[in-house]
Amino acid sequence: MTYIDKEKEKEQARKWYLANSEKVRARSKARYNEKKAEILEQGKEYRQRNKDKIQARNANRYKNNSDVLKKRSAAWRKNNPERYKELAARKYLKDIEKSKADRKKWRTENKPKQRIYSHNRRARVSQNGGTLSVGLADRLFKLQQGKCACCGHALGDDYQLDHRMPVLRGGANEDWNMQLLRKRCNIQKHSKDPIDFMQSRGFLL
Label each residue of 144-163 as H, E or C: CCCECCCCCCECCCCCEEEE
- Asked if residue 29 belongs to a domain, the reply is no
Which tops the pLDDT comparison, 193 or 4? 193
- Asked if residue 64 belongs to a domain, the reply is no
- CATH number, domain containing residue 188: 1.10.30
- Asked if residue 157 belongs to a domain, the reply is yes
Domain boundaries, position 155: 110-200
pLDDT of res. 2: 55
Number of Cβ within a 10 Å radius of residue 131: 13
pLDDT at 185 over 80: yes
Predicted TM-score (pTM) of this structure? 0.49
The 10s digit of each residue's pLDDT in 107-156 is 888 888 888 888 787 777 677 778 888 889 999 999 999 999 999 999 98
State the average pLDDT for the chain. 85
pLDDT at 62 over 90: no
- Asked if residue 138 belongs to a domain, the reply is yes
Average pLDDT (99-105) is: 86
Distance in angstroms (rounded) separating the CA atoms of residues 76 and 74: 5
CA angle centred on 58, ends 47 and 76, rounded to 5°: 105
The 8-class DSSP code of residue 20 comes to S
pLDDT at 15 over 70: yes
- Asked if residue 50 belongs to a domain, the reply is no
pLDDT of res. 113: 83
- Asked if residue 28 belongs to a domain, the reply is no
pLDDT of res. 91: 82
- Asked if residue 174 belongs to a domain, the reply is yes
- Asked if residue 66 belongs to a domain, the reply is no
Helical ranges in 65-203 per DSSP H? 66-79, 81-94, 96-109, 111-125, 136-143, 183-189, 194-200
How many domains, the chain?
1
Q: pLDDT tier at 171 (50, 70, 90 boundaries)?
A: confident
Q: pLDDT tier at 3 (50, 70, 90 boundaries)?
A: low
